[in-house]
Amino acid sequence: MAIIAELKRRSPSKGELDLTLDAAVRGAAYERGGASALSILTEPSEFDGRIEDIGAARAATTIPLLRKDFIVDEIQLLEARVAGASAVLLIARALPAERFLALADSARALGLELLLEVRDERELERALGVPDAVIGVNNRNLETLQIDDAVSARLLQLVPSARVAVYESGVRDVDGVRRAAVLGADAVLVGSALSVSGSPGMAVRALTGVPRSPRG
């Protein structure tokens, strides 16, 4: 199981996590701990994120960087590319279908990879229409902020085995990684549990080594 380790200072559901978080220092620690990629929150008002965190992490790490934000405009894709991001998040629920596909095309034209986030079968069908994109299944309801991994239990098995599938939200420890593996995920995105850790490298290391399970 691949670990996508998130850099997050604050969250709407948990409040302040670590307002002193330094993107370069934390990112390097995550990489040393065995993270396969970094997810960097750049949304400022709810997450205390900043686009400059991508550049700081890029200078300190060698692994792929995901810009995680509410992407709604091409200018955000350009910002991500210039800052040094490898990929961007597009949330199916946050975008009309045509806009979702247009932004996916624009991101690819800029050389950015895609993590397409879904929460139901209709959104998954739309995301699977984007060739080779990584599919993320978010267990958190963005309206209520509640977590229910029945969403992943239902949707992950519908993701073709040739696609990379990511289990998002709700992983706090290695048992959560094992649960995601059993449901058919290839990777987990871990945010708050790592962001509050005083030993981020060790916290990531504790999540690694879980074998993947066949899907589909």
pLDDT digits (tens, 9 = 90+) for 81-94: 999 999 999 999 99
- Per-residue burial over 133-163, b = 16 or more CB atoms within 10 Å of its CB, e = otherwise: bbbbbbbbeeeeeeeebebbebbbebbeeeb
pLDDT at residue 216 tops 70: no
Q: Is 68 a catalytic residue?
A: yes
Q: Is 168 a catalytic residue?
A: yes
Catalytic residue among 117, 139, 152, 197: 117
What pLDDT sits at residue 78? 98
* Residue whose C-alpha is closest to residue 106's, from 69, 75, 66: 75
What pLDDT sits at residue 142? 77
Catalytic residue among 8, 39, 123, 152: 8
What pLDDT sits at residue 145? 79
Q: What is the pTM of this model?
A: 0.95
pLDDT digits (tens, 9 = 90+) for 94-116: 999 999 999 999 999 999 999 99
pLDDT at residue 11 tops 90: no
- pLDDT, averaged across the chain: 95
Q: Is 8 a catalytic residue?
A: yes
| pLDDT more than 90, % of the chain | 86
Q: Is 139 a catalytic residue?
A: no
Q: Is 16 a catalytic residue?
A: no
Q: Is 141 a catalytic residue?
A: no
Catalytic residue among 31, 39, 68, 86: 68
**pLDDT class for 13, splitting at 50, 70, 90?**
confident
Region at 15 (left for phi over 0; alpha for psi -120 to 50; beta for the rest): left
**pLDDT class for 144, splitting at 50, 70, 90?**
confident
pLDDT at residue 141 tops 90: no
Class of domain 2-205: alpha beta
What pLDDT sits at residue 146? 87
Which residues are registered as beta bridge partners of 165?
Answer: 135
Catalytic residue among 152, 168, 192, 195: 168
Domain ranges of the chain: 2-205
How far apart CA 21 and CA 107 sit, in angstroms, is 28
